[in-house]
Amino acid sequence: MTAVDVFGLLGLTPHRWQAEALAAVFHPTTGLRSRAPILVQACTGAGKTVFQLAVVARVLHDLRAAQGERARDWRLIVTVPRKSLVEQTVLAFARALGAVTVGPWYGDAERTDAPVIVACHNSLPSLVEFLETGGLKVAFWLFDEAHRTSRNDVRDAVDRLQPRTQLMVTATLKPGGILGRYPDCSWSTAKQVYSYDLDTAVRDGVLVPPRLVVPTPDEDALDTNEGVIRMIQRAAPPGPIVVDATDKNDAEWYAEVLTANGNPADFTHSGLGKRRRE
């Protein structure tokens, strides 16, 4: 199955880098089939979630094709550092793979029947216990934000579950290599199979470089809020706009100000419930 086939089944059109990285992950000699941990680096905002979704979809397809009914004895694990990322990842993956295929694992939200389990690091001990007790095996482990895996519970979980294949994904890759910067990471010996940096993403049009907008003398002479509104009306490109606020109250107030001045706006902050934020 080619990268085009995988993204096509998902109903997605990949960026060039996503298709190239997927091909690198499934290279017959240097990819996952080598059974050695591998690493993909891509800059923030490039679309790593879509890439990871395609990897999981391909692994799940191959597992079911090879194992048939016995695929029920295997699990695919995706780990992220925080509970909020568990929820985001489950939502994104379930839209494409189906809600019965992807389940969260944290606190009281533990989907024991899902073939793809998304867990936060703090919940790994209970996940390990569940898998070991049930005699379930791990076919694939995807570490999102892999540079945050230098924790004993992560290393212990990997050592106990012995996943057949491992993929580390990170946006953080500095000169000198990951091994030198994060010597304690359980994946520090992973082989890098693909990298996508910020400059290339901008050249490809995947990311848009920041543009500094300077107020005109007339805008500078106005009240700060009125001047900002004028700048937005004059210089903002078509499409959604994000405005940073000082705090929760400021976010709510400024959304009202923008809307009242002809710029329909809504606010979001951590004080809102999950459904309201979505």
pLDDT 10s digit of each residue in the chain, 278 long?
Answer: 778 788 888 889 999 999 999 999 999 998 998 888 899 999 999 999 999 999 999 999 999 999 998 999 999 999 998 888 999 999 999 999 999 999 999 987 888 899 999 999 889 999 999 999 999 999 999 999 887 776 677 888 888 999 999 999 998 764 434 444 444 454 567 889 999 999 999 999 999 887 778 889 998 888 888 888 888 888 777 667 777 778 888 888 888 888 888 888 888 877 776 666 66
Q: Would you list the DSSP string of 40-94?
A: EEE-TTS-HHHHHHHHHHHHHHHHHHHHGGGGGGEEEEEEESSHHHHHHHHHHHH
Whether residue 3 contacts residue 194, with contact meaning beta carbons closer than 8 Å, is answered with no
Helices 16-25, 48-67: crossing angle, 10 deg rounding: 40
Whether residue 91 contacts residue 78, with contact meaning beta carbons closer than 8 Å, is answered with no
d(CA 188, CA 41): 13
Q: What pLDDT digit, counting tens, does each position of 209-223 carry?
A: 877 788 899 988 888
How many residues comprise the chain? Answer: 278
Nearest partner of 76 among 123, 144, 141, judged by Cα: 141
Q: How far is CA 8 from CA 60, 90, 96, 115, in A?
A: 15, 21, 11, 22
Q: Please give the model's pTM, rounded to 2 decimal places.
A: 0.80
Strands 109-110 and 102-106: antiparallel
Q: How far is CA 270 from CA 25, 178, 243, 250, 275, in A?
A: 36, 33, 16, 13, 12
